[in-house]
Amino acid sequence: MAVTTIELQPGFADKVLAAQSTFRTVMEAMARPGQVMAVDDEVGHPPSMMVGVAAVALTLLDQDTPVWLDDAFASASDVGAWLKFHTGAPIVARPDAASFALVAAPAALPDLSVFALGTAEYPDRSTTLIMQVPSLAAGESFRLRGPGIDGTTALTASLAPADLFARLSINQALFPRGIDVILVDDRSLVAIPRTTRLAASGV
């Protein structure tokens, strides 16, 4: 019998407390869209997966959350095995069956309508996108408004796909259905829930 042994990276050093502190970071991010938060827990991760994505996955995924991987993650030899081992989350081929979607190559992000967008009665039954982006520190400037934001807030980021906010404008027409996004750059993360609107953008 041929056995392929993959040296799997570890997960959280302290499962209980790291999941708690990462969750608080994600919760704060979701409550304050556009603000850059940092994950500071010790966490192992497959080489192609950013620390922030690994930490969020370990915090939120388990056997009850089907997860969809983009081609870049799906073709990495260790990502699926790492997720399966540490979270038990079933990996699904259909994005609309996924509670979470992990995206390593956001430039190739499929149309958002392929994901679960919730129903009018259960808008929470939607896919949460977790995307690795080029930078959450430098790049274009985006002015955002919506719940969680006192007036407007500025996000400086280099995003992929470049028209991400244009694509997310479907959230306005769909609300309360819609899609929530967590952007990750290394240890930094920014949440863009479905209520966040682009007020202005520029370089």
Partner 1 sequence: MNAPTYNFAYLDEQTKRMIRRAILKAIAIPGYQVPFASREMPMPYGWGTGGVQVTAAILGPQDVLKVIDQGSDDTTNAISIRKFFAKTAGVETTTSTDAATVIQTRHRIPEAPLRAGQVLVYQVPIPEPLRFLEPRETETRRMHALAEYGLMHVKLYEDIARFGHIATSYAYPVKVNARYVMDPSPTPKFDNPKMDNCPALQLFGAGREKRIYAIPPYTSVVSLDFEDHPFTRYKFDAPCALCGAEDSYLDEIVTDDKGSRMFVCSDTDYCEGRQAAGHRGVESAAPHKEAVHG
Query: What is the distance between the alpha carbons of residues 72 and 28, in angstroms, rounded to a whole number?
Result: 29
Residue closer to partner 1, measured from CB, 1 or 120: 120
Provide the minimum distance between the beta carbon of 165 and partner 1 in the complex, in angstroms, as a whole number.
16
Query: What is the distance between the alpha carbons of residues 154 and 134, in angstroms, rounded to a whole number?
Result: 17
Provide the minimum distance between the beta carbon of 1 and partner 1 in the complex, in angstroms, as a whole number.
33
Interacting residue with partner 1 among 124, 173, 202, 203 (CB under 8 A): 124
Provide the minimum distance between the beta carbon of 95 and partner 1 in the complex, in angstroms, as a whole number.
18
60 binds partner 1 (CB under 8 A): yes
- Asked if 45 and 51 touch (Cβ cutoff 8 Å), the reply is yes
Q: Is 176 exposed, middle or buried (0-12, 13-18, 19+ CB in 10 A)?
A: middle
Interacting residue with partner 1 among 77, 107, 137, 147 (CB under 8 A): 147
CA distances from 70 to 3, 10, 40, 129, 201 (A): 26, 22, 26, 11, 28
- Asked if 125 and 97 touch (Cβ cutoff 8 Å), the reply is no
- Asked if 71 and 108 touch (Cβ cutoff 8 Å), the reply is yes
* Segment near partner 1 (CB under 8 A); pick from 20-28, 37-45, 90-98, 159-167: 20-28
CA distances from 103 to 18, 74, 133, 173 (A): 23, 10, 9, 24
Interacting residue with partner 1 among 9, 48, 65, 172 (CB under 8 A): 65
Provide the minimum distance between the beta carbon of 54 and partner 1 in the complex, in angstroms, as a whole number.
15
Provide the minimum distance between the beta carbon of 195 and partner 1 in the complex, in angstroms, as a whole number.
7
Strand positions, DSSP E, 19-159 = 37-38, 67-69, 100-103, 128-132, 135-145, 152-158
Q: Number of residues interacting with partner 1: please give it, by CB under 8 A.
A: 41
Name residues contacting partner 1, limited to 69-98 (CB under 8 A).
none
111 binds partner 1 (CB under 8 A): no
38 binds partner 1 (CB under 8 A): no
Q: Which residues bind to partner 1, rule: CB under 8 A?
A: 15-17, 19-21, 23-24, 26-28, 30-32, 59-62, 64-65, 99, 119-124, 126, 128, 147-151, 175-176, 178, 180, 193-195
